[in-house]
Every structure is written in structure tokens, then in C-alpha cells.
């Protein structure tokens, strides 16, 4: 899956006619500030040299790959563009972790936190739930990696962002 970068969401727009004639002439169109109608109006303006252009979206940047299609824009892309940056990242990580499309509501419901490793996640979860007492003797060692690998990893889907942080989503 192509991950989100810091670039703005945009599509490279050509046409099938130009492509079939041996040209990839087109341009990148930023999606910021566009809704579906104004985006397609910009595509028509870009390819005004054709009477009835059939748009070909030859590349994309700045949004999850599942919203991309060479022949059209998924309606979910326009909903995703309306999200704030935190929700965009949460939804993108959810979709990467689960390998499925989803809604921001599903992503928020399944999100259980971030950590640097499964062991860190297991330890944080045990502490937050109160399963490890605050006055736990320091001489006792808990194998958090084994707790993650043997007991918790089957209950969560994970995805790692560009900074190396692991996102944890509960498998419902």
C-alpha cells in the first residue's frame, strides 16, 4: 500500500485519448480546495483541447491508495479530504493495518493507541488497566515481548507510520 507522505493530496490527470496517441501530457491537480464537481471542472479546463475528454488519473500522492483509480475518483476520497490531519492519518493507518476500506468512525472505534513496539504496547495496556500495581516490586521482571507475541498480537491489527510508530487497532 502506498503510504501517505507530507505532500498534499493530488492527482496527475491525463486522458485516454492522449495516452492512446502516445502522450502522457497532463498535469498534477491539487485536491485541496476542490470538491468533486470543481475538481472535474478543473480537469475539463486542463483538457479543453478535447471535445469530450475521458480522464485518466495516471498517478496520485497524499492519500490512501484504496481511494485511487486510474479511471475515476472514489466518493470516499472526497469524504477523506474533509477530515482534519489527525483523522486522515488515523483512517489511513486503520486501512493499512486491516487491509480494508473503512470509515473514520470504524477507525476511531478500533484504535487502541500507538507505541514503539508490541512489548511497549502490552506494558502500557497493563499499566493503564491497573493490571500491574503501582507498588509492584522492582525486582520482578515481566516479559512484555512474550505477553505481546503469545497473548495480545492476535487481537490487534497494526500499521507502522513513516516515523516508525506502530498504530494498534482492535480486531472486532
**Cα separation values, 45 from 12, 19, 40, 51, 130, Å:** 14, 18, 9, 11, 60
Do 116 and 72 share a structural domain? Answer: no
Banded model confidence at residue 129, pLDDT cuts 50, 70, 90: confident
Do 75 and 119 share a structural domain? Answer: no
pLDDT tens digit string along 84-105?
999 999 999 999 999 988 899 9
30 contacts 9 by C-beta, under 8 angstroms: yes
pLDDT at 133: 80
What HEC string does 78-146 produce?
HHHHCCCHHHHHHHHHHHHHHCCCCCHHHHHHHEEEEECCHHHHHHHHHHHCCCCCCCCCCCCCCCHHH
Name the residue among 32, 1, 7, 16 with its Cα closest to residue 70: 16
Spacing of C-alpha 116 from chain mean position: 19
Q: Is 5 a residue whose pLDDT tops 70?
A: no
Q: Is 4 a residue whose pLDDT tops 60?
A: no
Distance CA 143, CA 25 (A): 58
Distance CA 87, CA 97 (A): 15
Name the residue among 155, 96, 94 with its Cα closest to residue 122: 155
Helix, strand counts (H, E) of the chain: 7, 6
pLDDT tens digit string along 21-62?
999 999 999 998 899 999 999 999 999 999 999 999 999 999
Q: Which residues does residue 115 pair with via DSSP β-bridges, in sequence order?
A: 166
Do 157 and 106 share a structural domain? Answer: yes
Boundary of a domain, candidates 42, 66, 82: 82
Place of cell 486542463: 46
Mean pLDDT calculated for residue range 126-152: 89
Q: Domain range for residue 145?
A: 89-170
Do 104 and 78 share a structural domain? Answer: no
Q: Is 6 a residue whose pLDDT tops 80?
A: no
Which is higher by pLDDT, 79 or 133? Answer: 79
Do 166 and 93 share a structural domain? Answer: yes
Q: Count structural domains, the chain.
A: 2
Boundary of a domain, candidates 82, 106, 122: 82
Amino acid at each position: 500500500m502506498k503510504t501517505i507522505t507530507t505532500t498534499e493530496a493530488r492527482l496527475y490527470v491525463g486522458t485516454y485519448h492522449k495516452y492512446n496517441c502516445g502522450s502522457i501530457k497532463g498535469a498534477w491537480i491539487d485536491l485541496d480546495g476542490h470538491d468533486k464537481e470543481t475538481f472535474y471542472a478543473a480537469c475539463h479546463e486542463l483538457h479543453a483541447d478535447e471535445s469530450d475528454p475521458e480522464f485518466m488519473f495516471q498517478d496520485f500522492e497524499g492519500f490512501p491508495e484504496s481511494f485511487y483509480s486510474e479511471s475515476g475518483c472514489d466518493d470516499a476520497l472526497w469524504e477523506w479530504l474533509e477530515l482534519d490531519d489527525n483523522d486522515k492519518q488515523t483512517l489511513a493507518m486503520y486501512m493499512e493495518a486491516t487491509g480494508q476500506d473503512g470509515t473514520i468512525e470504524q477507525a476511531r472505534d478500533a484504535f487502541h493507541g500507538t507505541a514503539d513496539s508490541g512489548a511497549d504496547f502490552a506494558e502500557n495496556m497493563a499499566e493503564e488497566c491497573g493490571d500491574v500495581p503501582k507498588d509492584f516490586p522492582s525486582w520482578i521482571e515481566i516479559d512484555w515481548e512474550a505477553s505481546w507475541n503469545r497473548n495480545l498480537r492476535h487481537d490487534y491489527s497494526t500499521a507502522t507510520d513513516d516515523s516508525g510508530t506502530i498504530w494498534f487497532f482492535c480486531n472486532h
